[in-house]
Structure 1
């Protein structure tokens, strides 16, 4: 699975409240979540973001609460992948569960508006703007399969192991 997009770079310790404010977490309307993503951190984010663009951050991305709405809002807004030096573990798992691709690169020098190629299968990121290559942390193949299917529910449905109970 290969992606290409423009980087939007932010710093360390971006918590889930900064990704999507708590006042929006009571809605089931995914477009409303997307419309307000990063609203408090960067009010211009939604106007700058093009579908397929990439979010790049420092350490501890997605810290704070365990709200699943944070990766859902990013995905629905059009973020194709989140690249960070490290992720809060609950955000990492929630992103996988909803099918939002993530790549962990311990040391990167990616700048805002750099053009990136990401190979999710190998964890490789090429910065086309600077001609720099990064190798991300290896992700288990089952997690890559879950992302490829669009999330855990779709992954399980495809395998016939997901059933709604009444």
Structure 2
């Protein structure tokens, strides 16, 4: 079980991690500024195993890999949204951050609710209800388990 941090539609990568923080030399230094313009307390409140739940078009804007990386570094277990910008989706998979589509969840939960994600079954439990979501194919789950596409490719050598 993890806590939900809820965001609306069209959250862009600059709102996830603003461009001025990309100058910091490490993701650990950047992560304390995650969602600073939308929820200034996010980085200090999020705990490993928590979830980001968003409306449509999450991760639009610039193609910065750091947007997915700071969420992973903070321990976010997955981002669940109605839809994702393609480049954010790809960057998340590359680094091993689960990005899950659920059309109903965002509209029925609020900030602070708890949820449980079952990737293999494509099911989310929240507030006593069950929601369908992306059911990951075994190969995709294997890639995520290895830390992302890049780590998976490096292990195949």
Question: TM-score, normalised to structure 1's length?
Answer: 0.88
Q: Spell out, residue by residue over 1:48-77, the C-alpha distance to the aligned partner (whole angstroms, 9 max, x if none).
A: 211211111111000001110100011111
1:51 to 48, 51, 55: 48
What CA distance in whole angstroms lies between the structure 1 residues aligned with 2:149 and 2:16?
22
**Which one has a bigger Cα radius of gyration?**
1
RMSD over aligned Cα, in angstroms? 1.3
The structure where helix makes up a greater share of residues is: 2
Correspondence 1:15-164 to 2 at 5 A: 15-108=12-105, 109-127=108-126, 130-160=127-157
Structure 1 unaligned regions, length at least 5: 161-166
Structure 2 unaligned regions, length at least 5: none
Which contiguous aligned blocks of 4+ residues in structure 1 show a shift greater than 6 angstroms? none
Counterpart residue number, 1:163? none
Q: Spell out, residue by residue over 1:58-116, the C-alpha distance to the aligned partner (whole angstroms, 9 max, x if none).
A: 11000001110100011111211111111111111110000011110012212211111
Corresponding residue SS for 1:125? strand
Cα contact 2:119–2:134 (8 A) shared by 1: no
Number of aligned residue pairs: 155
